[in-house]
Each structure stands twice: as C-alpha cells, then as structure tokens.
Amino acid sequence: MWVCKDCFADEEICKEVENNSTDEGVCDVCGKIGKRCDISVFTDFFVSVIHLFKSDINSQDTVISILEQDWHIFTDVQYARTILAEVIRVSGLDIKLDDKVSYIDDIAARASVWEQLKTDVKENYRFFVDHDKFDEYAELFSSSTLKENTLLFRARITPEGQKVLTAKNMGCPEKGKATAGRANPLGIPYLYLCKDEETTFYEVRSVYLDRLSIGKFRIQRDLKIVDFNSKFSLFVSYDGTNSLSDTVVKKKILEAIRHDLSKPLRRYDTELEYIPTQLICEYCKRNTADGICFNSSLHSGGVNYVLFNPDDAKCISVVSREIKLIQITV
C-alpha cells in the first residue's frame, strides 16, 4: 500500500515518507498524486503503537480516537482507519479498529506518579515529601533558553485615583509579603509574566472599564526555563528498541502538571490547592532552572512565564489601558 506525506500530520513521519519515497504516483490512502512510499516502512512502528493499548469494555475510546486526541499522527480519521487496518492485516494482530481500548495498565500506573505526589504533599507530608520518584522523569523537565533582552509583559489593575503605576510598582511583592500563588509559596515572590500584552488582560482577571497598568519587562540574562508546553512525538521516540510507553507516560505527566499550573483560581479554592504546583516549581528551581513557562488557560495561544528570581527581568516602561469590551461566551 502506497502512502504519501499528506496522509500524516506528524512532521517527523512526513519527513520519513519523503526520505523513503521511491516512486511518484497516486497515494492509495488519500488519493493525492506525488511522492509516495510503501507503508511497510512504518509497519513496525504502528504495531508498537497498537501494543500500547489493551481491550477495555469500560472505555469510550478506540485506538484511532486516542491517537487522534493525544498524538495527532494522521491528517484525517479515515486515513488512520485505512492505514491501521492494513497494518493489522499484514501483521495478523488480534484487534479490531472499533474495539474499545485504553492504554495498558503499566502506562496508567506510571503516569499516576503526579496524582500520588499531589495527594502526598496535600495530605501526608509537606516539607519532606518523597519526590525522588520524580527523578526518573527528570528529563521531562527539559529546559529551553529565554534569551537576554527578550520582552515580556505584566499587568496590574490601576488603583482608583491613580493614572498609571510606576515601573517600580510593577514588580512582585517583596520577600515575606508575597501571597501564595500557583507557582510561588507564601512569602517567596516569583515574577509572573506573559509573552504578549493581550494575555496579561486575561491573566489579571480584568473586568469591564478596569484600568490596567501594563509593564514591559526586559530579561536581564539568558535564563534556563522549564517548558511545560513541550511536544512529544511517538515516532521520534521510536527507534525499534525503546519502549513507546515511556513517551506516553512522560506526555501524560507533563500534561497533568501543565493542566494544574494553568488552572484558573476559583473563589472557593484554598491555598492547599497550590501546594503541588509550588512543589514542582521548587523542584525545577532545585534542578537549576530559572523559571518555567506554560500555556495560558485564560487566553488561547497565550504563554505564561514564572521567574524564580524577580530581578531577572526589569520593568522598562508602563502604559495604561482601559478595558472597553468584554465578550462572554457560554
């Protein structure tokens, strides 16, 4: 069966199709004309992928729905169906594409390390919680560099009677006075910044007619930032020997932490809710990171940064903005 790169959404698979193209013609899967390669190039990979799942009558998902949701390998569900059916046929696997499945137990068990740690630090131990089991996933916390002179933003609601806050007032509270947040513990200030100005409007929870002071901050040196938005590709991690389940576990843990980091604070949340994410931030800090970044859950496409040392960014200017329109959708 011929496949072409247009069948796949995973960039690395697309490259592999190009590298293995021996022919030009009609793709048997999507019908496009162009470079194509034989599906046998990917058979072993997809057999390993299918082995990540077990039959589960209590699940609502199929192999295809999970691959679509978690890994976005194919450009179309129908292409996924055609390709996987061929892999199952030539490999003689005992599975049907409409079978209800979930990830194998080993994955679910290992991916629960974050949930266990959360319970532990909230309910059992506070300062000597056992985070050693996280060391196994230390590479999860891979970092990227936030370059010196990068500009980031921070908003504060301008108090009644003031035109705009000064640059000096745009930073975080001093040590000992900081309230607890998703990332920082009580009394230990971290600087919360956003990649663009618009995201700050959402992050500060502004309401109609609020006046905001928007500070522009310049990064003072190259910073090591743990990126909770890292993307994983099953295909990249597959080399024929390594277990793909490791990659699934890592993705699941990172996603769960990211979800908790970006979860909006609700009125009835207690500070206890922040403890696990504070722990993870401190774990990153102990492992020599200068900060973290993660997607904003309040503004699609926005990215939040948390710097552990507030002096690593300097406020260089402040402008005033007024919220003129709020759109609410339900």
Distance CA 63, CA 52 (A): 9
In this complex, which beta carbon is closest to Zn ion, that of residue 36 or of residue 154? Answer: 36
| 80: contact with Zn ion by CB under 5 A | no
CB of 78 to Zn ion, least distance (A): 11
Distance CA 70, CA 103 (A): 11
Alpha-carbon torsion angle 81, 87, 90, 95, nearest 10 = -70
| 172: contact with Zn ion by CB under 5 A | no
> Which among 96, 64, 83, 58 has a CA at the least distance from the CA of 6?
83
Tokens of 179: 């309230």
Phi, psi of 251 (to 5 degrees): -60, -45
CA-based radius of gyration for the chain: 24
| 10: contact with Zn ion by CB under 5 A | no
CB of 215 to Zn ion, least distance (A): 49
In this complex, which beta carbon is closest to Zn ion, that of residue 25 or of residue 301? Answer: 25
Q: Which of 17, 27, 188, 191 binds Zn ion (CB under 5 A)?
A: 27
H or E element at residue 223: strand 223-227
| 203: contact with Zn ion by CB under 5 A | no
Buried b (16+ CB within 10 A) or exposed e, 230-251: eebbbbebbeeeeebbebbbbb
In this complex, which beta carbon is closest to Zn ion, that of residue 21 or of residue 184? Answer: 21
User: Taking contact as CB under 5 A, which single stretch among the options 1-9, 52-60, 284-292, 299-307 is the one that binds Zn ion?
Assistant: 1-9
CB of 53 to Zn ion, least distance (A): 24
Q: Which of 13, 17, 30, 225 binds Zn ion (CB under 5 A)?
A: 30
Q: Which of 29, 170, 172, 234 binds Zn ion (CB under 5 A)?
A: 29
| 37: contact with Zn ion by CB under 5 A | no
Buried b (16+ CB within 10 A) or exposed e, 106-120: ebeebbbbbeebbeb
CB of 17 to Zn ion, least distance (A): 9
Phi, psi of 39 (to 5 degrees): -60, -20
User: Taking contact as CB under 5 A, which single stretch among the options 28-36, 129-137, 177-185, 198-206 is the one that binds Zn ion?
Assistant: 28-36
| 6: contact with Zn ion by CB under 5 A | yes
Asked if 297 contacts 318 with a C-beta cutoff of 8 angstroms, the reply is no
| 7: contact with Zn ion by CB under 5 A | yes
In this complex, which beta carbon is closest to Zn ion, that of residue 27 or of residue 223? Answer: 27
The footprint of Zn ion on this chain (CB under 5 A) covers a number of residues equal to 6
In sequence order, the 6+-apart residues with CB closer than 8 A to the CB of 256 are 111, 114, 115
User: Taking contact as CB under 5 A, which single stretch among the options 20-28, 161-169, 185-193, 320-328 is the one that binds Zn ion?
Assistant: 20-28
Binding site for Zn ion (CB under 5 A): 4, 6-7, 27, 29-30
